[in-house]
Amino acid sequence: MKSYFIKTYGCQMNIHESEKIAGILRDLGYKEADSDQNADLIVFNTCCIRETAEAKISGHIGEVSRLKQKNPNLIVAVCGCMSQQKGVAEQLKKRFPFINIILGTSNLQLLAEELARQTQKHSLIDTAEYNTVTEMNSYRTSGANAWVNIIYGCNNFCTYCIVPYVRGRERSRKEKDIVAEVSYLLENGYKEITLLGQNVNSYGKDLDDGSSFSKLLEKLATLPYKYRLRFLTSHPKDFTEDIIDVVAKYDNICKSIHLPVQSGSTAVLRNMNRRYTREYYLDLVNKIRAKIPDAGLSSDIMVGFPGETDENFADTLDLVKQVRYSSCFCFIYSRRKGTPGYAMENQIPKTVKTERIKQLIAAQNVITREISKQFEGKTVEILVDGLNDKYSDVYCGRTDCGKLVNFKCDKDCTGEFVNVKINRSQSATLFGEIVKK
């Protein structure tokens, strides 16, 4: 029996795509290898959101040449966002001549055909066309949680971002197909569903059948199962009041909202083509908090976008202090070829970017700690993800609002809902003990 090893980089979308790749491979009779050393097939499912991601992946692909020398029959496949970029397939082929198969995000379903050829020559497929999406059989590895795509692609063209170029335009799945998939997963014991899209809030706009994200949420929230519903990612410009109302109305829709702001300066937001202002965003946060007082908000923020002044950055710091996110992913702007940001004047020097990100992370850390501290003494319901990697009797799971909780349990409680009393907190993580319901 042949075996595969998949290396996944990037966002949740890619993690789920790797589950689909595993599904294809298992249908072909492959089994999962415990390491790349023992695999007959290594798949790199790549990301190109920042230069650092691409550099890391290239390094890892380079290391495989050693394995290929030992085992000339080893098949190496590269797919995902990095190889979907214009001209990158050819560059990869030149730099790493041992790669057997290069696919993009748009033609992943050809993996089976390509493997069937098993050619030692390159099979390079034209990655320009986006096929209509077909859902593939996933081999899920995410414990109690199952990822479900609701919309593919992105229409927003934020000026820093490569995603619209490598994932194509927005394509929503039909509501009935999503409801069928979610029902099937719940029937099979999953306790949490996370809906995925680059901008889930614009779900249905391309369908012309009256579908919308809030209607979809309502339909899923009323399915007759005890489970949690989450979604990623929301674009502030499309987070309309009907969505706030549905999240507020249903207990099983998690009160954890990832609402990337990117910058706290209206001038920078305009240059980023985010299509909202600082005031609009703060107003949206107030509306959400008015209707969902215990909402846990999180964000993505970038420093050093071209033209960002000290004053603009001060606006970002100030916004972070006003909003008080429970957690925040902070990034240094990375120039991506093919995006409008690449050609912009006033690129910010590296030293300035590094100093700004340090300040931003420090400011957020204080807030993260303060928010965690507020949980001490409280009892919260946790959906258990599984064992904490580091210990044999410590389990971890998340609160409704997305906080990570560690606690001891003497039996396997993975996938169960348990009540945990929080005793202490350490930066973003909470520690507690199980109490009776």
What is the C-alpha separation between 94 and 102, in angstroms, rounded?
A: 12
Token pair belonging to 47: 């990301």
Helix (H) or strand (E) holding 178: helix 175-187
Residue number of the CB closest to ligand SAH reads: 300
Token pair belonging to 311: 């004053």
In the list 331, 375, 395, 407, the residue contacting ligand SAH (rule: CB under 6 A) is 331
Find which of ligand F3S, ligand SF4, ligand SAH, none residue 47 binds, CB within 5 to 8 Å per kind: ligand F3S
What is the C-alpha separation between 203 and 173, in angstroms, rounded?
A: 8
Please state the closest distance from residue 199 (CB atom) to ligand F3S, in A.
Answer: 12
Please state the closest distance from residue 47 (CB atom) to ligand SAH, in A.
Answer: 9
- Closest C-alpha among 267, 283, 259 to residue 402: 259
Q: Which residues contact 353 (CB under 8 A, 6 or more apart)?
A: 303, 304, 332, 333
Other C-beta atoms lying within 10 Å of the C-beta of residue 134:
7
Number of residues that bind ligand SAH (CB under 6 A): 17
Find which of ligand SF4, ligand F3S, ligand SAH, none residue 48 binds, CB within 5 to 8 Å per kind: ligand F3S
Token pair belonging to 414: 């993975």
Find which of ligand SF4, ligand F3S, ligand SAH, none residue 81 binds, CB within 5 to 8 Å per kind: ligand F3S
Please state the closest distance from residue 332 (CB atom) to ligand SAH, in A.
Answer: 6
Choose the stretch contacting ligand SF4; rule: CB under 6 A; options: 95-103, 153-161, 321-329, 411-419: 153-161
Please state the closest distance from residue 198 (CB atom) to ligand F3S, in A.
Answer: 7
Please state the closest distance from residue 11 (CB atom) to ligand F3S, in A.
Answer: 3
In the list 123, 199, 368, 399, the residue contacting ligand SF4 (rule: CB under 6 A) is 199
Q: Which is nearer to ligand SAH, 50 or 173 (CB)?
A: 50
Sheet holding 228-232, edge to edge: 145-149, 192-196, 228-232
For the segment 77-96, give every residue that binds ligand SAH (CB under 6 A): none
Find which of ligand F3S, ligand SAH, ligand SF4, none residue 13 binds, CB within 5 to 8 Å per kind: ligand F3S
Q: Which residues contact 119 (CB under 8 A, 6 or more apart)?
A: 100
Please state the closest distance from residue 127 (CB atom) to ligand F3S, in A.
Answer: 13
Token pair belonging to 220: 């899923």
Binding site for ligand F3S (CB under 6 A): 10-11, 13-14, 47-49, 81, 162-163, 166-167
Please state the closest distance from residue 154 (CB atom) to ligand F3S, in A.
Answer: 8
What is the C-alpha separation between 296 and 430, in angstroms, rounded?
A: 14
How distant is the alpha carbon of residue 298 from its chain centre?
A: 13
Please state the closest distance from residue 390 (CB atom) to ligand SF4, in A.
Answer: 33
Choose the stretch contacting ligand SF4; rule: CB under 6 A; options: 84-92, 130-138, 160-168, 317-325: 160-168
- Closest C-alpha among 323, 294, 150 to residue 220: 150
- Closest C-alpha among 195, 207, 200, 209 to residue 156: 200
Peptide bond into 105 cis (omega under 30): no
Cβ contacts of 134-137, under 8 Å, gap ≥ 24 = 134/109, 135/173, 135/177, 135/181, 136/20, 136/23, 136/24, 136/108, 136/109, 137/20, 137/23, 137/24, 137/27
Choose the stretch contacting ligand SAH; rule: CB under 6 A; options: 27-35, 156-164, 246-254, 425-433: 156-164
Helix (H) or strand (E) holding 248: helix 241-249
Could you say whether residue 334 binds ligand SF4 (CB under 6 A)? no
φ and ψ at residue 50, rounded to 5 degrees:
-135, 160
Could you say whether residue 157 binds ligand SF4 (CB under 6 A)? yes
For the segment 218-237, give every residue that binds ligand SF4 (CB under 6 A): 235
For the segment 161-190, give every residue that binds ligand SF4 (CB under 6 A): 161, 163-164
**Exposed/middle/buried for residue 289 (C-beta within 10 Å: 0-12, 13-18, 19+):** middle
Helix (H) or strand (E) holding 164: helix 163-167
Could you say whether residue 102 binds ligand SF4 (CB under 6 A)? no
φ and ψ at residue 208, rounded to 5 degrees:
55, 35
Q: Which is nearer to ligand SAH, 123 or 233 (CB)?
A: 233
Give the footprint of ligand SAH on this chain (CB under 6 A): 49-50, 160-161, 163, 198-199, 233, 235, 260, 262, 300, 302, 331, 333-334, 336
Give the footprint of ligand SF4 on this chain (CB under 6 A): 154, 156-158, 161, 163-164, 198-199, 235
